[in-house]
Amino acid sequence: MKKIFLLLLITLPLGVWAQQKPAQNDELSGMRAVGSPANPKVPMRWNHYNDYAGITKFCQDMAKAHPDLVRIESMGKSFQGRDLWVLVVTDFKTGNPDRKPGFYIDGNIHSNELQGSEIAMYTAWYLAENFGNVAFTTELLKDKVFYITPTINPDAREDFIKNPNNANSPRSGMVPLDDDGDGEADEDKYDDLDGDGNIVLMRRKTPLGRMKQDPGDPTRMIPAKPDEAGEYELLGYEGIDNDGDGQVNEDVTGYYDPNRDWGWSWQPNYVQNGALYYPGSLPETQAIKRYIMRHPNIAGAQSYHNYGGMFLRGPGAEEDQQYYNQSDIAVYDVIGRMGEKIIPGYNYYVIYKDLYTVYGGEIDWLALGRGIFTFSNELMTSYLLFRQKPNDPNRFQNDEFNQFGKYLLFDDAYVAWKPFKHPQYGDIEIGGPKKNYVRNHPGFMLEEDAHRNMSFTLYHAHQTPKLEVQSINTRAVGNGLTEVTATIVNQRVIPTHSSHDVRYKIERPDYITLKGGTPLAGMIVENEDLNITREQRNNPATIEVPNIPGMGFVKVRWLVKGGGKYTVEVDSRKGGLAQKTQ
């Protein structure tokens, strides 16, 4: 009996534990790391790059898993007929999304800049999967709406991923062009000489060459010193002269730049290399512009590019600096400088001043054409490799990438040099970095930089207007008349209209309406202490206010006959709706 009792004492708790053990999600059987969603409804790996089918499935899965938070739309078709997917992310139970302050995100305008798509997708995923669990994201989706477009160049992205390319091709889209003027468009494709799926470099051994192999790293070519003999000449990327004109790879997919196709400050190709025929030549550009125009609630925007580790604001050209006054620059400064804290190694810059001149860029069309506070992030920087030299101007010439590829990627980023018999060049060697190295994050680095860049973007989105009717004060003035004064505050940094917007009247004014009684006069209070007001002579019930400043307020006043209970309603395109009853 004693033995039986001891046996039960030993085995029963184990059996009870086995029966009572809670079911474990296959994705989580340990302890959740803080800052990451627990048991996501849409499990995702953020250490690889998705093709168009993967992006489409992700968008569909998100809409299916989170019907109250995510909807999928198509803003139009690409040149080859692919849908330009948009994830509309918000708490749909808290009102009409088009009346909330909106934030637009896109990525991958340049097809070889892959990670912008993954970071846009990560943002949608993180917001939806954390709703109800993280107070910040929950409040954000109640207050705001996000329009997230993972790729705005899906045709060339698909070509970059599926076909042999180098790190810089195709940068444009897939519109066929005749770059060499021989009457044939795109006839000189990159040729994968050895069929390994990589387009790498060609070199030929010759004493007349000015390059040599780095004795410490056989994957690397370095210039020979002036007083020493060279070993090789570099012949460019893998390819063959397909059309017999004596040039290799000169047409490829035709060169134009989708980020030179926008209507603000557009210049033709002889001024701005990469411009196509006219502003909005590309169907993708046209579709995005129509979508933005249909959503005047968009107050902030983010476009993801690579490379360099930068938060870029406009203008793209120095002559457009006149359109950025100090109040708008102050808003950009608050957000950009916070970004430098959020992402070490990234720097806040002005495009024309710190980078180069850009005419016809998307960022200028958004900021100056639509009055939207916009940043463009240049993703990935050599600082992330060894946390050194964040501002090294020679980062493309030093050996950081080779050392990183050797010690952290174990040469997976490089194709070893091998001999090849070229039909035009004879005996050559081919080798060098793979197409997805340097510009695009290695897998283990992608999720961290996605999270940090998303955090910067969410900080920006959080600073879009948040309006509140703070107070309604009444004062009897005799003869059955009442003076009603309302104070409307904006609790965020971004105003309801940029100064540029106000100056050129891009968007309608904010409407502040009094309900209750009969308003006989309506006015903006310019100085309450000195009782200075500016009357609106028509339609006194609804006062038109040109702007509600960031971290500021406006006061309005009505002279009202009758009533006793008053409601003030605020209707702002970019600031949303607010009301209060007194």
The pLDDT of residue 1:
45
The pLDDT of residue 398:
60
The pLDDT of residue 78:
96
Scan for tokens 């206010």, then name that residue. Answer: 545
The pLDDT of residue 490:
98
Indicate the helix (H) or strand (E) that contains 126.
Answer: helix 115-130
pLDDT, tens only, 454-481: 999 999 999 999 999 999 999 999 999 9
Q: In this structure, which topology does domain 52-159+258-380+442-458 adopt according to CATH? A: Aminopeptidase (3.40.630)
The pLDDT of residue 270:
93
Q: Dihedral (C-alpha) 14, 16, 22, 25: value to the nearest 10 degrees?
A: 40
Give 471's strand partners.
Answer: 487
86 in Cβ contact with 63 (< 8 Å): no
The pLDDT of residue 18:
35
Q: Cα 451 to the chain's mean position, in Å? A: 12
The pLDDT of residue 474:
95
The pLDDT of residue 23:
39
The domain ranges of the chain are 52-159+258-380+442-458, 177-254+401-435, 467-581
Structure tokens at 185: 């468009």
Rounded-to-integer distance, Cα 265 and Cα 252, Å: 28
From the list 365, 333, 362, the residue with the least C-alpha distance to 350 is: 333
The pLDDT of residue 190:
77
The pLDDT of residue 357:
95
Give 378's strand partners.
Answer: 305, 310
Class of the domain covering 467-581: mainly beta
- Cα angle 378, 400, 259; round to 5: 20
363 in Cβ contact with 310 (< 8 Å): no
The pLDDT of residue 143:
98
313 in Cβ contact with 336 (< 8 Å): yes
Which residues does the chain have with pLDDT short of 50?
1-26, 187-188
Cis peptide bond upstream of 170, omega within 30 = yes
Rounded-to-integer distance, Cα 143 and Cα 132, Å: 14
Rounded-to-integer distance, Cα 378 and Cα 343, Å: 12
176 in Cβ contact with 132 (< 8 Å): no
The pLDDT of residue 563:
74
For 210-260, strand residue ranges (E) read: 211-213, 221-223, 232-237
The pLDDT of residue 363:
97
The pLDDT of residue 22:
38
